[in-house]
Amino acid sequence: MQKNTEPNKQLFSGFSIPDTEQINRALAVIEKIPDDPHYYRPKGIEVAAILMDFNVDLETILAAILSDPRLAALHIKPDIEEQFGDTVATLVSDVNWLNTMTVYSLEMTDKPNQTETLRRMLLSMTQDVRAVLIKLAYRIKRLKVLPRESYELRRFIAQETLDIYAPIANRMGIHQLKWELEDMAFRYLKPQSYRRIAKSLTDNRVQRENCINNFIVLLQKKLAEESISAEIYGRPKHIYSIWKKMCRKQLGIDELYDLLAVRVIVENLTACYATLGIVHSLWQTIPKEFDDYIANPKENGYQSLHTVIIDPNGNRIEVQIRTQQMHDFAELGVAAHWSYKEGGKHDTAIEKNIASLRKLLEEKGSDEALSENFRSELFNDRVYVLTPAGKLIDLVKGSTPLDFAYAIHTEIGHRCRGAKINGRIVPLTYTLKSGEQVKILTAKDGGPNHNWIDLNLGYLKTSAAISKVKSWFKNQQQTQNIATGKAILDKESQRLGLKNIELEELAKHFHQPDTDKLLEAIGRSDINSRQLAAFFKIPELETPAPSQRKKPEAKSVISVEGIDNVLTSFAHCCSPVQGNDIIGYISHKKGITIHRKDCENILHLGPEKQAQLISVNWGAKKASYAVPIVIHAFNSQNLLNDVTQILAQAKIHISNAALNTHPDCSAQLNLTIQIENTNQLSQVLNKINQLPNIVDIKRKT
């Protein structure tokens, strides 16, 4: 049976003939959906009808129609991009994602930071902000059919609306949608309170309208006598906002001042105060309810004069007086009107996009340049990712799984050894994308790697995480030095038969603020054996001074199995020299200590310490590794020559090179170089980065 499409076509009158033809083609796609009398969820055409009241453009209408959820059930799905263009296809894709997104949970209601992060994630992940407008219209239709759903689902959707979508509508400056979303959600969450307020407003509606009309007529007459041009109208109050104010002020509905409210829009600042004087001369005022937000703007920039008067019948009326510029600033969302109502942060990026959206809504036309603005992300400096438990984490764009780990907890970062993104293992240098779920793989023990704080290697992006890694190394070095100092004193006290060493007295003698600083100085060799011997008035301690310690020949090189560029030092207890059989002991703070294999300390290591032994050798030739790097430059001239000279000076071999130039003279140079260790790689990347015209250089992962 063929559907009657004429009523649907009548909904979209007012478009040009070419635009109407496109709408009819979109309706023809929808007509292919089989009839289902049991389907009551929002339909695309119903959502498009809502948006007609907002004077939206053709692409928004087409996307609303074609984002109908029922299209997913069609056996042969339409090619929207081919039939309607990439902009409409992108909008439809964004709306479908928003309609199926399941990040929100009721627990977020008590976590304002999480709800704010989710709102920002939704806005940042939509390529075209008009998709959010379509989603808001879908939510209006969803709320209207909620009576058919279970109590649990009604509560979930209503609370999600209040926490996420109504604030987004407010932030976008689309207040009519905001008020409707709030009132409908409130009706499901607090049905008794909703009905009580609604009944009170209905019972007194005629009286309120008469009161407001009498006020407007008299004020308009007096302003005309003073040659002040003004637009005056009653300002409607909405049930949810009334209830919030009743709760905040602990007042009954009859005690609220601003149930009767009037807004006066005048031409300039002088007219604002002149109008205020006339209002105060005509009616009795309530002094404590006067606020001058023009002289003292709110933190978000909001400006207006607020006063409350009492008319001859005892009615209290709130009066707002402002210029058109002040009114636009507040209504368009650019005044960060949402900041003080939601507790969100002022964001110039979103203000710019919202202002563009409002312009597009108010000036329907073919402003292609304006439409292009929506194809960029609103928050292009942030990335929003999820923990396995669904918690949202807000990070700087470019962050890695390691940054994520440190954002969760410092210890998680320290023990991080790998990561999974959406169930797939990725390197720790992977760049996170909004919406991804991140799981951190940790070791039971251990700490960070020195490579993590090398910016050229790309492990960490956030300064907070880098600071935590640096602090760990500093603390570990202090702890190791204290332990070493204590071991030196304990060993000598046993050898010399000293029962007690007065550490406080020793610290005072060496001008140390406390005993920990004393032990740290001894472990660091700042206080040497000669100085300690002089204090105890005993022969020089067994541990030789740094200047007297035996050192291996300068040509001796230690190769550590499987690890490059590791800090090594020779143990004083056995003083290994070239030719001795040696072994390494991994120290948490001082790298790897080289011992003779027959060293007493090594032979008597406890089982738990033996795991820290590692194979080392004398004089092994250093291995080299192929490392791919990519260099971006403003100008290709002399780029390859300059880079190869630096590599030649560093005695680094190039195994592969490819230079790609672009019409704008910029260039990309891909190299594969032979590197012995990460320190060498970092040094050469730094040198190349200092060349003129270099935009970016990094190691490929």
- Residue 349 is predicted with a pLDDT of 47
- The residues, any chain, with a CB within 8 Å of residue 184's CB and separated by 6 or more, are 140, 143, 144, 158, 161
Name which CATH class applies to 625-699: alpha beta
**Which pLDDT tens digit goes with each residue over 307-332?**
999 988 888 888 999 998 888 666 54
Bridge partners of residue 233, in order along the sequence: 263
Q: Is the pLDDT of residue 591 over 80?
A: no
More confident of the two residues 663 and 366: 663
Categorize the per-residue pLDDT at 547 as very low, low, confident or very high, splitting at 50, 70 and 90.
very low
Longest dimension (CA), the chain: 111
Q: Which of 72-76, 380-384, 418-422 has the lowest mean pLDDT?
A: 380-384
Q: Is the pLDDT of residue 487 over 90?
A: no
Cα–Cα dist 660/653, whole Å: 21
Categorize the per-residue pLDDT at 634 as very low, low, confident or very high, splitting at 50, 70 and 90.
confident
Categorize the per-residue pLDDT at 380 as very low, low, confident or very high, splitting at 50, 70 and 90.
low
Cα–Cα dist 62/78, whole Å: 13
Q: Which of 17-26, 593-602, 677-686 has the lowest mean pLDDT?
A: 677-686
Identify residue 451 by its one-letter amino acid code: N
Mean pLDDT of all residues belonging to the chain:
79
Cα–Cα dist 354/130, whole Å: 10
Interstrand relation of 261-266 and 392-396 (parallel, antiparallel or unpaired): unpaired
Length of the chain measured in residues: 701
Bridge partners of residue 306, in order along the sequence: 291, 320
- Residue 9 is predicted with a pLDDT of 61
Of 571, 481, 574, which is closest to residue 526 (Cα–Cα)?
A: 481
Residue 334 Ramachandran class (φ > 0 left, ψ -120 to 50 alpha, else beta):
alpha
- Residue 336 is predicted with a pLDDT of 34
Q: Is the pLDDT of residue 623 over 80?
A: no
Of 275, 287, 270, 288, which is closest to residue 218 (Cα–Cα)?
A: 275
Q: Is the pLDDT of residue 246 over 60?
A: yes
Categorize the per-residue pLDDT at 280 as very low, low, confident or very high, splitting at 50, 70 and 90.
very high
- The residues, any chain, with a CB within 8 Å of residue 255's CB and separated by 6 or more, are none
Distances (CA, A) of 244 to 27, 100, 220, 407, 504: 42, 30, 32, 35, 63
Q: Establish whether domains 6-197 and 204-331 are of one fold.
A: no
Percentages helix, strand, coil for the chain (3-state, rounded to 5) are 50, 15, 35
Q: Which of 14-23, 120-129, 215-224 has the lowest mean pLDDT?
A: 120-129
Place of tokens 């695309």: 44
Domain 204-331 sits in CATH 3.30.1360.40: no
Categorize the per-residue pLDDT at 359 as very low, low, confident or very high, splitting at 50, 70 and 90.
low
Cα–Cα dist 170/341, whole Å: 9
- Residue 492 is predicted with a pLDDT of 67
CB atoms within 10 A of CB 321: 25
Place of tokens 């204290």: 482
- Residue 276 is predicted with a pLDDT of 95
Cα–Cα dist 20/26, whole Å: 10
Burial of 524 from C-beta contacts in 10 A (0-12 / 13-18 / 19+) = middle
Domain 382-461 sits in CATH 3.10.20.30: yes
Bridge partners of residue 307, in order along the sequence: 319
- Residue 343 is predicted with a pLDDT of 43
**What topology is assigned to 6-197 in CATH?**
Hypothetical protein af1432 (1.10.3210)
Cα–Cα dist 229/232, whole Å: 10
pTM as predicted: 0.56
Bridge partners of residue 420, in order along the sequence: 425, 439
Cα–Cα dist 200/343, whole Å: 30
| Pair 62, 88: CB distance under 8 Å | yes
Identify residue 489 by its one-letter amino acid code: L
Of 41, 43, 40, 53, which is closest to residue 12 (Cα–Cα)?
A: 53
Reading the block at residue 609, the tokens are 């310490």
Categorize the per-residue pLDDT at 155 as very low, low, confident or very high, splitting at 50, 70 and 90.
very high
Question: What's the average model confidence in pLDDT over 432-459?
Answer: 85
**Which pLDDT tens digit goes with each residue over 640-693?**
888 888 888 888 888 888 888 877 677 888 888 888 777 788 888 888 887 877
Residue ranges of domains in the chain:
6-197, 204-331, 382-461, 550-620, 625-699
